[in-house]
Amino acid sequence: MTPAFPRRRATLFCCLSLALVASTAHAADTDDRVTLRLGAMNVDAQGELRGSTVFEGNDLAFSEDFDFGSKEWVPRVDGVFRMGERQRLIFDYFQYDKSQRATLSEDLSYDDVTIPAGSFAKGEVEFQLASLMYDFAVVETERSSLGLQLGAEWAKLKGSVYAEAGEDSYRDSRSETGYAPVVGVRFTTRPSDKWLLNLQGQYLDAGWGDFGDYDGSITRANALVEYRFTEKFGAFVGYDWFKLDVEQAGSDGLLGLDQRFKGPVAGVTLAFRASNRQQLSF
């Protein structure tokens, strides 16, 4: 006859196992399956244009800082699709479009050339960056997660200039598009059920992908703090920083651009959670 104590212990073990399974199912039920953040970034853009060449046997080089005047609000979107307890797909999109115009208030003369008052030059720059990354959490706890990322990034840089001086005018436009693998790291922590802190950084080398005859890199870092009013709706604030450092070498010299975008971000969060029938089981 089986002793009573082992039988009670077996019963207790079964009850405990069922409780753990139920607890796990409940935790999966409260995990976000899809998170979408829609917001804007107040961008401060600063850049440096540099170049070098050889003219009549002499090495010539220049470097000039420039900016685009006032800050600009631009759209910012990112999303997270959680495929499993440790696996995520992360999407980011950023766009910057700014123009600047300078007009002469009086005549400008140089030797026998005079540029009349009212002459102007207008420049415009457009930068777009989109990435899709696979994120694997090497550390995943109830409150914190540390993920390593690998994915692809697409970038487009377009610049144009238009100038008028009296009866003469000049117009030019250049556009470059490319894509390359990107690596990154992410840290997420939830101090409480309503608060979230997310830190992220990515790096791309133009030599890894298809950016034509351009060399350089794209670096990005961002941080955001999010508050959930409900399980499905929240708001966030944070800070984003991008650095585009590229150069192009040709038969007549080298031309480089160091462009930086930085500023605060703010927006709303929309979340969709997995049901009991769609548990995160990977």
pLDDT of residue 101: 63
**Tokens 């650095």, located at residue:** 243
**What pLDDT sits at residue 26?**
37
In single-letter form, the type of residue at position 121 comes to: A
Residue 52 buriedness (CB in 10 A; 0-12 / 13-18 / 19+)? middle
Q: Which of 184, 254, 176 is nearest to 219 (CA)?
A: 184
Which pLDDT score is estimated for 126? 80
Least Cα distance to 125 among 50, 204, 45 occurs for 45
Check if the beta carbon of residue 269 is closer than 8 Å to that of residue 236.
Answer: yes
Q: What's residue 278's pLDDT?
A: 47
- In the chain, the amino acid numbered 50 is R
Q: What pLDDT tens digit does each residue of the chain (282 aa) get?
A: 444 444 554 444 444 444 433 333 333 334 689 999 999 999 888 877 666 665 556 665 656 666 666 688 889 999 999 998 899 999 999 888 776 666 656 655 555 556 666 665 666 778 888 999 999 999 999 899 999 999 999 888 777 766 666 666 666 666 778 888 999 999 999 999 899 999 999 998 877 777 766 777 889 999 999 999 999 999 999 999 988 887 766 555 556 677 888 999 999 999 998 664 444 433
Residue found by looking up tokens 């170049």 in the block? 51
Measure the CA dihedral 145/17/83/189, to 10°.
-20
pLDDT at 116: 65
Kindly give the pairing relationship between strand 72-82 and strand 195-205: unpaired
Nearest Cα to 125, choosing from 233, 23, 183, 46? 46
55-80: b (≥16 Cβ within 10 Å) or e: eeeeeeeeeeeeebeebbebebbbbb
* pLDDT at residue 176, as a whole number: 75
pLDDT of residue 4: 45
The pLDDT score that the predictor gives to residue 205 is 86
Structure tokens at 178: 């490319």
Residues 6+ apart with CB under 8 A from 53: 59, 60, 61, 252, 253, 254
Tokens 């548990």, located at residue = 279
Q: Give residue 180's pLDDT.
A: 87
Q: Which residue type occupies 177?
A: T
Distance CA 19, CA 185 (A): 35
